[in-house]
Chains A and B, each alone.
Chain A
Amino acid sequence: PCTARPSRVPAVVKNYFQLREFSFTLRDDVYLRFQSFSSPQELERELQKINPYKIDIGAVYSHRPNQHNTVHLGAFQPQEKELVFDIDMTDYDDVRTCCSSADICSKCWTLMTIAIRIIDRALVEDLGVRHRLWVYSGRRGVHCWVCDDAVRKWSPALRAAAVEYLSLVKGGADTVKKVTLSHPVHPFIRRSVDVVEKYFEEYALLGQDILGSPEKWDKVLALIPEDILPSRSCSKKDSVQRWELLRARVERSRPGGRAAAQGPCYADWEVMLQFCFPRLDINVSKGLGHLLKSPFSVHPKTGGWGVWGVWGSPAPTPAPVHSPNPPDYKKTSLAPYVKVFEQFVEGMECARRGEKIRQSDLQGDF
């Protein structure tokens, strides 16, 4: 709960805003990096003046980014940045049949929902994160911005480690089996499987119909070890029933059904994970200098707004046309999204104020 004290205590490190890098993409793909501003008002003026197609947000640096050329080589360094994740639908092309590349539909959007639920749970329960914001990237995926103080200071190595902790799908186009589990199964994996379970029937068996035809059936069987493999000719009628059959076979084999050296078989989980588990791009998360599209910016190619995904719903519709007198956003369809954003920021400010007050109390300042 937030105490109603006046905010005499400064919210952030001095100069925080001035040290933040923004980048603008203009018409004709002109790209301007290392933009920085003395105040939010200055940023607003600049935006109105040059009207960029895309705005990216980068790190908070040791010096004002727009003066980085005047700084001694090596002294200009990123100091902190939100931990970000980027989940892109094209990374799932090998396991979705409804769409490919930049297309998305309500059927495959479920993959984003699953990804958000799995990762969000892990962020909160495993990594102890409190302040995170999920945003539709405007085109074909979602971004997550993790804003906890401590996490903003994480090194590239620690960020990379987090991505690896959250990764289970390994291998590229030439890898058939992308998920392999061994016993004992880590709680992170087990809890992720629990999430996938909730969506698997509707998404994979009905929506994607992954066992609906001999070709599709073969693709799945390719992931099952030979000793558990059912016969190809199957009397069952549909994906749901076929999955039941497969599932039952694997589960039966688990307690002691295989040679000790092989260990219990988790092929059913492996299939579920290969089709549904989130696929992260480590390069987006690893570096402090990496720039990510700002929430609320319009995607240059789709016109879609970058706003947080409402759970389970498809992409928001294209943006209102830019006009010299933009309507008050509270009266547009953006209003609910802005409210959520405000609440998110309020939550962080509250926590920060609470922490600062606690600290100043400890020091006996009144």
Chain B
Amino acid sequence: MEFSSRERQKLWRLAGDRRDQYPHSLQFYLEPPTESISLVEFESFAVDRLKLLKVVENLGVSYVRGTDVYKTKLAGELRKLKFPYRALAEDDYEARRKDHISHFILRLAYCQSEDLRRWFLQQEMDLFRYRFNELTGGLMQKFLEHVNLSFEAIGEDLKNELANELSASTPGFSLPKVKEQMFYKVGLADAVDLFRARRVYIKDGFAYVPFKEIDVIVLNNYRTKLSKALALTARSLPSIQSDERLQPLLNHLSHSYVGPDYSVQKNTGKISLDQIDALSVKSFPLCMRQLHRALRDSHHLRHGGRMQYGLFLKGIGLTLEQALEFWKKEFIRGKVDADKFDKGYAYSIRHSYGKEGKRTDYTPYSCMKIIMSNPPSQGDYHGVKCTNTVIVRCPFRHSDPELLKQKLQSYKISPSGITQVLELVKGMHYQLACQKYFELTHDVDDIGFSLNHPNQYFTESQKLLSGGRELKKEFNNSGSFQQKNNSQESINSSSTPTSSNAKTDTELEELEAYFTED
């Protein structure tokens, strides 16, 4: 294609403009994006960043930050999700643009409460710290200049004058080391921790900080800015929430589960009722195992438990007819008469299969939803048998740790395994605790996936037990936000079923055979 020189110049300028817009692989997110963006992109960017931040969170728990394995895994994830993953000096425009926009979208969702803000801030800081430390010295300098962090490096003359003081003030800095490293003059407010601990030279209201401590300072700066920005965003939220296109999305982002929703099942009817007892021991996550046990023991579950367990069963493939039979049998044993069942409970079950009322096909609850629901109320089951009503949410979240320990002991989990689980519970890493439970009950070292959904647990377990486990998990995500009580079309209307939980007929046959051998 031939361009006139004027056109060529224009193209250069455009390309230059693009480069100018995102001159670095990371940023402080000071300016919100001003371009227009499609709703599809809005949603997919947000979902991808949320996935990224959850990975950041998990990696931070499983590995020591800054170690090679941590860095490698995080880099891999960044690459996979198409975020900037290398401190490139050159054009990485699309990734940087995505980074920019997705950050601001998530701010909208995560500014809404103290807890959400804290979580978002923590993950964003960890992400920033990783990316900042990946910068080379030269790029770091340029970046600091770019964000106007007015840290002047002190000149050689001044440094020589102060050399003894600097060496006496800065731990680990002998005189020779002082001579070779850069020192920066930083305002006291920017170097609070070093100032407080007297680990730097302080003179005339400034701290003299060596290059290697600069990342702490930059991070503090970032944290302060982001914290303020989140508070500000929260104040302007009402006007954003009034936008009908965004409101459902934003509401869901902070509670969202970003994986397959298990609403469309290809394996319906492949599980028979008499397999459930065995399956509950082998392949159910702890919450469902306990709910099943509770149902068998008390012949009843309260509404919340019925929803949680019932939808899960739907997700693993129980048909409506099977479900009705299953629940009816159990409830009748609990002295609910058949008539009452048909009039009341049956309606509710049909409702949850989308055959009544609004005809919305309810989706099985994700871990996030279960963990974050209200804690069980009076009369609910905490691992102690109550005479009539039983309900369990997430046992790692809602059970008393002592009772949880006893339960795990009764399931013959090893003491060291139990300790590991309880440690994770103590650190409030409930899904990781469940992952550990998976590893212990399936006798594997590494669960191999990131657990977000009870049905995912089941699917993976089945896969593992049938020997058909793939090495690499690829979830095909529609990324759509299925809303429970919303008859509106969901934003991304392609509700494609996921490939991962679709089972081939042969696999299921093998599975049935496996279980009937017991």
Residues in A lying within 8 Å of B, measured CB to CB: 125-129, 150, 154-155, 157-158, 160-162, 164-165, 184-190
Is B188 a contact partner of A158 (Cβ separation < 8 A)? yes
The chain A residue sitting closest to B187, CB to CB, is: A150
Find B196's partner among A165, A185, A189 (CB 8 Å cutoff).
A165
A125 to B204, CA, bound (A): 6
The interface residues of chain B lying within 8 Å CB-to-CB of A165 are 195-196, 198, 202
Q: Which of B165-194 contact A (CB under 8 A)?
A: 165, 167-169, 188-189, 192-193
B201 interfacial contact with A, CB 8 Å:
yes
Shortest Cβ distance from A122 into B: residue: B202
Residue ID in chain A nearest B189 by CB atoms = A158
Which residue from A128, A158, A162, A187 sits with its C-beta under 8 Å from B165?
A187
Measured in the bound complex, the distance between the Cα atoms of B201 and A125 in whole Å is 12
Please determine whether B203 and A125 come into contact, CB atoms closer than 8 angstroms.
yes
**Assembled-state Cα–Cα distance A155/B168 (Å):** 28
Q: Tell me if B's interface is mostly helix, strand, loop or mixed.
A: helix
Smallest beta-carbon distance A168→chain B, Å = 9
**Most chain B beta-carbon neighbours within 10 Å: one of A129, A184, A185, A190:** A184
User: Chain A residues with Cβ under 8 A from B37's Cβ?
Assistant: none
B273 CB to closest chain A CB (Å) equals: 56
* B254 vs chain A, min Cβ distance (A): 22
Min CB–CB distance B190 → chain A (angstroms): 10
B326 touches A (CB below 8 Å): no
Do residues B195 and A161 form an inter-chain contact, with CB atoms below 8 A?
Answer: yes
Residues in A with CB closer than 8 Å to B202 are 126-127, 165, 188
Taking a contact as CB atoms under 8 Å apart, the answer to whether A157 and B203 are in contact is no
Closest to A185 in B: B168
> Is B205 touching A187 in the complex (CB atoms < 8 A)?
no
Taking CB atoms, residues of chain B closer than 8 Å to A125 are 203-204
In the complex, the chain A residue whose C-beta lies closest to that of B205 is: A128
C-alpha gap A126/B203 in the complex (Å):
4
- Contact between chains at A154 and B204 (CB < 8 Å): no
| Residues of B202-259 whose CB lies within 8 A of A | 202-206
Nearest chain B CB to A46 CB, angstrom units: 37
Roughly how many angstroms separate A157 CA and B223 CA in the complex, as a whole number? Answer: 14
CA distance A30 to B169 in the complex (A): 49
> Residue B197 at the A interface, CB < 8 A?
yes
Contacts of A164 in B (CB 8 A): 196-198
- A150: nearest chain-B partner, CB-CB: B205
> Are A161 and B192 touching (Cβ within 8 A)?
yes
Query: How far is it, in angstroms, between the C-alpha of A129 and the C-alpha of B203 when the chains are bound?
Result: 10
13 contacts between A and B (CB under 8 A): A126-B204, A127-B188, A127-B202, A128-B206, A155-B189, A158-B188, A162-B195, A164-B197, A164-B198, A165-B195, A187-B168, A187-B169, A190-B168
A161 to B169: give the CA distance in the assembly, Å. 16
B189 and A188 contacting across the interface, CB-CB below 8 Å: no
Q: Report the separation of the CA atoms of residues A120 and B166 in the bound assembly, to the nearest whole angstrom.
A: 22
Q: Shortest distance in angstroms between A123's beta carbon and chain B's nearest beta carbon?
A: 10
Q: From residue A270, how far is it (CB to closest CB) to chain B in Å?
A: 16
CB of A160 within 8 A of CB of B168, answer no
CA distance A189 to B198 in the complex (A): 10
Q: How far is the CB of A241 from chain B (nearest CB, A)?
A: 32
Whole-angstrom distance from the CB of B401 to the nearest CB of chain A? Answer: 34
Would A160 and B167 be within 8 Å (CB), given that A127-B202, A127-B205 are in contact? no
C-alpha spacing A164/B195, complex, angstroms: 9
**Known pairs A128-B206, A154-B189, A155-B189; A187 contacts B201 (CB<8 A):** yes
**Which residue of B is nearest A123, CB measured?**
B205
Most buried by A among B165, B168, B193: B168
B188 — nearest CB in chain A belongs to which residue? A158
What's the nearest-Cβ distance from chain A to residue B312, in Å?
Answer: 42
User: What's the least CB distance linking B261 to chain A, in Å?
Assistant: 39
Those 10 A-B pairs whose CB atoms lie nearest each other, nearest first: A128-B205, A161-B196, A128-B204, A184-B168, A164-B196, A126-B202, A161-B192, A187-B165, A161-B195, A186-B198
